[in-house]
Amino acid sequence: MPHTTAFARNQWYIAAYGTEVGRELLARTVLGEPIAFYRTEDTGEVVALADRCVHRRFPLSHSRLDGDRVVCGYHGFTYDTTGTCVYVPGQKRIPRTARVSSYHVAELDSFVWVWIGDPALADRTTIPRAPHLADSTHWTTVGGMEPIDAGYGLLVDNLMDLSHETYLHGGYIGTPEVADTPMTTEVDEGAGIVRVSRHMDDAECPPFYANSTGIKGRITRWQDIEYHAPCLYLLHSRIAPQGVLPNPDGTDPDAFHVEITYAITPSTPDQVYDFWAVSRDFGHDDEEMSAFLRDFNHEVVMQDVNALNLLQKTLESEPAGYQELSINIDTGGLAARRILSRLAAEGDRSATPDNVAR
């Protein structure tokens, strides 16, 4: 039942764009854990603290910052960047146990990543990369984030099979060829990566690309998905006039490339953060094109949001044990579910009473 996909705890998750975190507390719930984010005054480092005061569990995200310290908005319990309580009202002695959890964070490729699981296992070098997001010389990016009232498994399903573009996003990014062209799927079980490719040799050009690239007539369209379970999803999109292929040396000057990035961050069992970004290697200074791509892709994202909100409600009202029927287009999605299931089981095994009781 994908609307209640288990959480994989010992993994890095994207909690925010770096630009969202500043000197106001930002509340995000990741894997069911409420977290308050902010930046320190001098170094601008991102701090992530459990969003619950130790005193009466008031959300610290409704607090104010005093320098780098968080002052609880209810009774003034004050915490430093490590989560240690440094002030309580009405007395000098601060209880030894007065501290809130702090979380490992990493800022990478424009995202703020957070580690929810066993702190001892947090290893920043394992974070998958989306370098185009940080490379504004070669790539121009627009993006946003939408929360969806659906389990994150439904968003994984959605993104792993793009044949839905033809039906849910017809007139935007879908054309008949997307649904009709078979895909190839490669699964790297060990690395937790699923690759799904669909190469269309002769396809209609949907408005999204016709308007941005200026191509008139039919196109060669490649969609190469690279899903780094559980959180990062990259879609390498290549658009060229029909028949135009890369050079033998790999250069590809006559094609348009768009990197479409999604972050799939489970918030609660029935809510997911849907981060999305569209990066192009053309028209860098074209503000109008940026506005078009931002607005147009936002509409596409909202079509998904509305469909998944509806699907979640539908599944919740279904009798237990309802059936699905999978076909070839689901190969990538089923591989992703299998990997997520394994990662979730691994996360549970490593959860010792100590780090669970936080």
Taking alpha carbons only, the member of 236, 235, 204, 234 closest to residue 220 is 204
Instruction: Check whether the bond before 230 is cis (ω within 30° of 0).
Output: yes
Token pair listed for 294: 């931002």
Nearer to a second copy, 137 or 325 (CB): 325
Tell me, what amino acid is at 112?
Answer: V
Token pair listed for 234: 């990259």
Applying CB under 8 A, which of residues 65, 86, 106, 179 lies at the interface with a second copy? 179
> At its nearest, how many Å lie between a second copy and the CB of residue 324?
6
Rounded Cα distance, 132 and 235, in Å: 12
Taking alpha carbons only, the member of 89, 47, 90 closest to residue 69 is 47
> Cβ atoms within 10 A of the Cβ of 59, count?
17
Q: Counting contacts by CB under 8 A, is residue 6 touching a second copy?
A: no
Which 8-state DSSP code applies to residue 211? H
Taking alpha carbons only, the member of 8, 21, 315, 286 closest to residue 145 is 21
Rounded Cα distance, 41 and 69, in Å: 10
Q: How far is CA 65 from CA 75, 88, 272, in A?
A: 14, 15, 28
Q: Counting contacts by CB under 8 A, is residue 67 touching a second copy?
A: no
Q: Which span (65-73, 127-135, 216-224, 254-262) binds a second copy, by CB under 8 A?
A: 65-73
Nearer to a second copy, 18 or 76 (CB): 76
> At its nearest, how many Å lie between a second copy and the CB of residue 258?
22
Q: Which of residues 245-304 bind a second copy (CB under 8 A)?
A: none
Q: Counting contacts by CB under 8 A, is residue 121 touching a second copy?
A: no
Nearer to a second copy, 61 or 141 (CB): 61
Q: Counting contacts by CB under 8 A, is residue 155 touching a second copy?
A: no
Total site size for a second copy, rule CB under 8 A: 49
Nearer to a second copy, 290 or 331 (CB): 331
Q: Which of residues 43-62 bind a second copy (CB under 8 A)?
A: 52, 54-59, 62
Which residues contact a second copy (rule: CB under 8 A)?
2, 34, 52, 54-59, 62, 71-76, 88-91, 95, 97-98, 157, 161, 163-164, 166-168, 179-183, 307, 310-311, 314-315, 318, 322-329
